[in-house]
Amino acid sequence: MSWFTVTSVCLLLAVILDQLLGDPPNRCHPVAWMGTLIALARCWAPRQGQGRRLVYGAFVVLVGTAGAIAVGMLLQHYLVWLPWPLPWLAEALVLKMTFSLRGLARAARAVYQALEAKDLEKARQLTSWHLVSRDTRQLRASQVAAAVIESVAENASDGVVAPLFYYALGGLPAALAYRFINTADSMLGYRDPTHLWLGKVPARLDDLVNLGPARLTAFCLVLASLCLGYETRQACRVWWREARRTASPNAGHPMSSMAGALGVELEKIGHYRLGVGLHFPTASDITRALRLLYATTAIAIALLALLTY
C-alpha cells in the first residue's frame, strides 16, 4: 500500500472519528498528558534570572518535542503489526487526538444558541470559558460574535489544519511534535512577568511551525468561500491587506481571510481591526463561519492528500 493511500485514508478517518467520538476524557487524552507535564515543568522553573528562565523554557519545549517525536515513531513502528484494518484505525485515532474539529464547532454553536436566546451574559461566559482568553464581561453581542468567529478562524489553523499538515509531512511523529509545541506555547507563551522569559522560546517556535499552516488555512478559506458562494474576492482583498495587523505573525491570516469571506469586521479592542468598514457580525454569522470551517477542513485534507502523492 502506498504512503499516499495510507496517509489519505488516515486523514479522512481521523476527521470521521472526531465527528463520531468527540474528545475522550482528559485521563485518556495525550494533549492533556502533555499539558500536565508542562505544568509540572513550570512548577520547577527557576524563580530568578532572565537567562536561566529562557534556557529552561527552551529545554522544556525541545525535550518535550523530542519525546513526542519518539512516541510517534514507536507508535508507527508497532501499529503496523496489528491485523488489518486495525493499523489504519489506530493511527487515525491517535491523529484524531491532535485536533478537535467537533469540539471547536460545539463551543461556537453553544455561544450562537445563547445569542439567539438573547442571553448575552451566558454567551459572554461561554466565549470566555471555551474560546478566548480575553475579558468578555463588557462585550456587546456583536463583539461576542466577533470573538467567536476570530476563535473559529484561528483554531481552524492551529487546532485543525496544522496537525493534519504535519501528519501529511511526517506522520504521527510530526503531528505529535506540533501538538506539544502548540500546547507549550498556549501554557507558557504569555507576556506577563511570570512567563515573559520562560515562554519566549516556546512562543517563537510555535510562530515558526505555524507559518505554513496559517497561510494554507487562509488559502483554503478562500477556496471554501468560493464553494459556498461567500465573498471570495473580498476574502482575498482583506487577507492581502490586513493579515499583518495582528501581533501574531500567523493568526491574522485565517482571521482576515474569514472576515472578508463573511463580510464582517472583527475587532479585538485595543489590538486590531480586520475587515474594517464591513458590517458588525451577528449570531447568524457564527453559523456561516462554521460552514466555512468544515469546508476549509475538507479542502485542506484534499490538498494535503495531493501533497503526499
CA 151 – CA 146 distance, rounded (Å):
9
3-class state of residue 272 by DSSP: strand
Closest CA to 302 of 19, 15, 1: 15
Q: What is the DSSP letter of 26?
A: G
Enclosing H/E stretch for 273: strand 272-274
Report the first-to-last Cα separation within the chain, whole angstroms: 12
Enclosing H/E stretch for 268: strand 266-268
In one-letter notation, the amino acid at residue 301 is: I
Give the count of beta carbons closer than 10 Å to the beta carbon of residue 197. Answer: 19
Give the count of beta carbons closer than 10 Å to the beta carbon of residue 192. Answer: 7
CA 296 – CA 306 distance, rounded (Å):
15
Enclosing H/E stretch for 71: helix 50-79
Q: Which domain holds residue 169?
A: 3-307
pLDDT tens digits for range 269-300: 888 999 998 999 999 999 999 999 999 999 99
Quick one: average pLDDT of 13-36?
Answer: 90
pLDDT tens digits for range 126-138: 999 889 888 888 8
Instruction: Give the count of domains, the chain.
Output: 1
Quick one: average pLDDT of 187-191?
Answer: 87
pLDDT category, 307, cuts 50, 70, 90?
A: confident
Residues 6 or more apart whose CB falls under 8 angstroms from that of 196 comprise: 190
pLDDT of residue 7: 83
pLDDT category, 3, cuts 50, 70, 90?
A: very low
Closest CA to 152 of 32, 301, 297: 297
Instruction: Specify whether the CB–CB gap between 121 and 138 falls below 8 A.
Output: no
pLDDT category, 1, cuts 50, 70, 90?
A: very low
Q: Which phi and psi angles does 270 have, rounded to 5°?
A: 85, 0
Is the confidence at residue 222, as pLDDT, over 80? yes
Quick one: average pLDDT of 170-179?
Answer: 96
User: Which range in 22-36, 38-52, 83-97, 214-228 is most confidently predicted, on average pLDDT?
Assistant: 214-228
Q: What is the pTM of this model?
A: 0.93
